[in-house]
Amino acid sequence: MKNWVVKILALSMVLVLFVGCSGSEDSSQGANDNASNDTQAQTDADSSESTGDTSEGNTEGSVYFLNFKPEIEEVWQKIAKEYTESTGVDVKVVTAAAGTYEQTLRSEIAKNDAPTLFQINGPVGYESWKGYTQDLSDTDLYSWLLDKSLVVTGEDGGAYGIPYVVEGYGIIYNDAIMDQYFASASKSTSYNSMDEINNFQALQAVVEDMTAIKDELGIQGVFASTSFSTGEDWRWQTHLANLPIYYEFKDKGVGDAAEIDLTYGQEYKNIFDLYINNSITKPTLLSAKTVNDSMAEFALGQVAMVQNGNWGWGQINGVDGNVVAEEDVKFLPIYTGVEGEENQGLCTGTENFFSINSQAPEADQQASIEFIEWLFSSEEGKNYVTNEFGFIAPFNTFGDDETPTDPLAKEVLRYMADDSLTSVSWNFTAFPSQQFKDILGYSLLDYAQGTGDWNGVEAAFVDGWKDEKAATAQ
Amino acid sequence: MQKTIKRYFFVFVFPTLLAFIVVFIVPFLMGIYLSFTEFTTVTDSTWVGLDNYVKVFQDPTFVRAMGFTGAFTLVSVISINLLAFSIALLLTRGIRGTNIFRTVFFMPNLIGGIVLGYIWQLILNGVLYKFDRTLTFAPEYGFWGLVILMNWQMIGYMMVIYIAGIQNIPGELNEAAKIDGASRWQILKNVTIPMVMPSFTISLFLTLTNSFKLFDQNLALTGGAPAAKTEMLALNIYNTFYGRTGWEGVGQAKAVIFFIIVAVIALTQLNMSRKREVQH
């Protein structure tokens, strides 16, 4: 009898011990693994989608598009569904998270079920993907292009990347605040409307005067934060840096160069100084600012100007408590003080080029070409492109009335239609590498914070260009 | 019985062995092979010999990341273990609310690195804003930010290990020391520390390797800013691999070097600490 009780007791103790042990083991295990789990989860999320729905009936080919723009992912999914319903061709769209397109593409394309349709960002992107891009010069899509010089061409003259959108950037300004300034009694310049501001001298005078009376205008600074957080400095090291390169290449009559002189370095400094000295944010705090911060400052009416492109409308419009009226959002070209810049327009071009995976099965390639041709020529497709994507499409299949209606896109079109102005092309697609841009960005931040000087920027620009061009040419 | 087990040895081991080969051995060997090649995707590569390894040492960012990682590891290993051991001593004294304290100190460990990085970024930036600075103004800010974060996260875990070690010391030893008239300091130095040596071994090992391999916290807190000066080795490898076209092989070579460094450090440390453990 006693023996029996002892046995039960012992057994229950052992059980308790086991439960206790396994419990604590679990929790410590979990904690230890935590660190690695996060990064794992990210990569998993990227790759898991692709393993899901693969097409079964492959007789007529299927389409797998790796999308670059997360903000329009839902529209792509809708298009894919509609296209599959009407034609029976499977279309799969996977979106890479912002800033991870290259690495997602790299891992996706190694799979059996690789993307058949992807995009490259210009000549530099073509360099790294040329083993995978198909010559598209025989396609209808190519023949529809309004400006064939925009195409990414290979050494053999083939068309390996077809632009599918035209974008423009400049200085976005809030017309309501500008009107308030022009009407103000305390202003000390003689300018009375934005039409008179057509060069750097005028821009500088107005901006500095606005800073002087910013309290009266109800703003905290003229320009939004010059964002310099990691990965958020592309507006300065890529878009703004395009201007001195554009003018230098124009003078030299070239489209690319192994070395540059930065003849317009002073002009580059002019505009950058203007941005940081009349900013809402102290220069020492810039390293923590993001593009979203800048766009929010503009949307909330805290600043009058921000440098960005027409894609920024979604960001302005999407901010809670947005006080900027649609009709007040306007573009001004980026004036830097170059001779004759009164005729300068916005910077227009693209870094979105479609490429077809040349290593995908023939049928899939054909299906992909048909899919994008449908998108840019059929009524349904064009409707998606202009109204849901808000793209200005560079194809002659689009009529004059088939253009997006958001204020910034309309401004881009207005500038492009103005024959007296010359658009600045996107020469930054020839910038040597991301490394070059990053190092230029670091030097700009150092200069802005006061931890470096302008010589550092010039060195990063000129030497960095030479070194990286040489490194990537190998 | 023994014989039967031996006969079915392969059947029992095979599934695990297969998994081990597929998810560890194969990628590992492929990784080493790829470090000698130039490639865009892992299935499409060309042999370039030692080129990648030459490039690694010509790359100033790698050397700088190595220095930064070394300094960070040194500082955080010392501070984490010192603080964790002190707290463990305090919380084995039988103070009221010991359990609550232990739980509270352990909790940071349950939060993921990325989340933790962003939270600390907000906190530290909030404080630094008062002085017109940000965490990414200069590398020193990021360095100490990382040290604080790492301490906050790891102390609780190490504390638990030390508490377990201290509680395992037989009570007689302490009593005997007390009867012999040993002071508190003498007990700590001659009884407690030698007796918890195994805990030191494991704690030092964990903090050393974790600090050296730190990635998510680094990515989330500073992302290497400013100018990649707060980039640690793991982040540097990641950025080389994904950030530079044509440098995938170099990133891979860096990863192989990184593996060797971590292995050497960890094994040396383990051996050294083992020798100091008291056998009983």
CB pairs under 8 A between A and B: 105
Q: Backbone phi, then psi, for A61, in 5-degree steps?
A: 85, 155
CA atoms of A455 and A224, how far apart (whole Å): 25
pLDDT exceeds 50 at position A125: yes
Question: What are the angstrom distances between the C-alpha of B198 and each of A32, A231, A250?
Answer: 19, 44, 71
Look at B226 and A435 and tell me if their CB atoms are within 8 Å. Answer: no
Percent of chain B with pLDDT over 90: 17
> What is the pLDDT averaged over residues A355-371?
90
What confidence score (pLDDT) does residue B245 get?
67
Among B40, B141, B209, pick the best mutation site for testing chain A contact (most A Cβ within 10 A).
B40
What confidence score (pLDDT) does residue A35 get?
37
Tokens 């050497």 belong to: B264
Instruction: Judge whether A470 is closer than 8 Å to chain B, CB to CB.
Output: no
Out of A31, A39, A102, whose CB is closest to B109?
A: A31
Q: Is A400 exposed, middle or buried (0-12, 13-18, 19+ CB in 10 A)?
A: exposed
Percent of chain A with pLDDT over 90: 28
CA atoms of A321 and A222, how far apart (whole Å): 20
Segment A201-223, tens digit of pLDDT: 999 999 999 999 988 888 999 99
Segment A315-347, tens digit of pLDDT: 888 888 888 888 899 999 999 988 888 889 899
Q: What distance in Å separates residue B180's CA from the closest CA in chain A?
A: 37
Give contacts of A100 with chain B, Cβ < 8 Å: 242
What confidence score (pLDDT) does residue B34 get?
87
Look at A39 and B215 and tell me if their CB atoms are within 8 Å. Answer: yes
Out of A109, A129, A288, whose CB is closest to B136?
A: A288
Chain B residue with minimal CA distance to A440? B227
Give contacts of A34 with chain B, Cβ < 8 Å: 109-113
Question: What are the angstrom distances between the C-alpha of A251 and each of A123, A264, A465, B220?
Answer: 21, 11, 18, 44
Look at B242 and A284 and tell me if their CB atoms are within 8 Å. Answer: no
**Which pLDDT band holds residue A41 (cuts at 50, 70, 90)?**
very low
Out of A34, A127, A445, whose CB is closest to B245?
A: A127
pLDDT exceeds 80 at position A52: no
Q: What distance in Å separates residue A39's CA from the closest CA in chain B?
A: 7
CA atoms of A41 and A47, how far apart (whole Å): 10
Mean pLDDT of successive 10-residue segments in chain B (280 residues)? 76 88 90 85 78 85 90 93 91 82 85 86 88 84 91 90 89 87 86 87 88 89 82 88 78 91 86 70
Give contacts of A464 with chain B, Cβ < 8 Å: none
Angle at A372 between CA A368 and CA A376, to 5 degrees: 170
Using an 8 Å CB-CB cutoff, list residues of chain B that contact chain A.
40-44, 106, 109-115, 125, 129, 132-138, 157, 160, 210, 215-217, 219, 222-228, 242-246, 248
What confidence score (pLDDT) does residue A393 get?
86
Look at A34 and B110 and tell me if their CB atoms are within 8 Å. Answer: yes
Look at B134 and A288 and tell me if their CB atoms are within 8 Å. Answer: yes
Tokens representing B240 are 């080389």
CA atoms of A58 and B263, how far apart (whole Å): 48
What confidence score (pLDDT) does residue A112 get?
82
Report helix angle A265-277 to A454-473, nearest 10. 120
Instruction: Judge whether A203 is closer than 8 Å to chain B, CB to CB.
Output: no
| Nearest-10 Cα torsion for A293, A298, A304, A305 | 60
**Cβ–Cβ under 8 Å, residues A174 and A302:** no
Instruction: Judge whether A255 is closer than 8 Å to chain B, CB to CB.
Output: no
Give contacts of A37 with chain B, Cβ < 8 Å: 112
> What is the pLDDT averaged over residues A11-31?
45
pLDDT exceeds 60 at position A371: yes
Which residues on neighbouring strands pair with residue A159, listed in sequence order? A153
What contacts B280, CB < 8 A, 6 or more positions away? none
Question: What are the angstrom distances between the C-alpha of A36 and each of B167, B210, B214, B252, B254?
Answer: 31, 10, 9, 19, 19
Tokens representing A41 are 């989860």
Out of B44, B114, B160, whose CB is closest to A38?
A: B114
Look at B137 and A287 and tell me if their CB atoms are within 8 Å. Answer: yes
What contacts A181, CB < 8 A, 6 or more positions away? A187, A206, A209, A210, A213, A217, A304
What confidence score (pLDDT) does residue B268 get?
87
Among B232, B244, B250, pick the best mutation site for testing chain A contact (most A Cβ within 10 A).
B244
Segment A237-281, tens digit of pLDDT: 999 999 999 999 989 888 788 889 989 999 999 999 999 999 998
Segment A168-193, tens digit of pLDDT: 999 999 999 999 999 888 888 888 88
Segment A61-100, tens digit of pLDDT: 889 999 988 878 888 999 999 999 988 899 999 988 776 7
Give contacts of B109 with chain A, Cβ < 8 Å: 31, 34
Q: Which of residues 93-122 of A touch B (CB under 8 A)?
A: 100, 102-103, 106-107, 109-110
DSSP letters, B85-151, are HHHHHHTTS--TTHHHHHHHHHGGGGS-HHHHHHHHHHHHHHHHHTTT--TTSSHHHHHHHHHHHHH
Tokens representing A191 are 């300018």
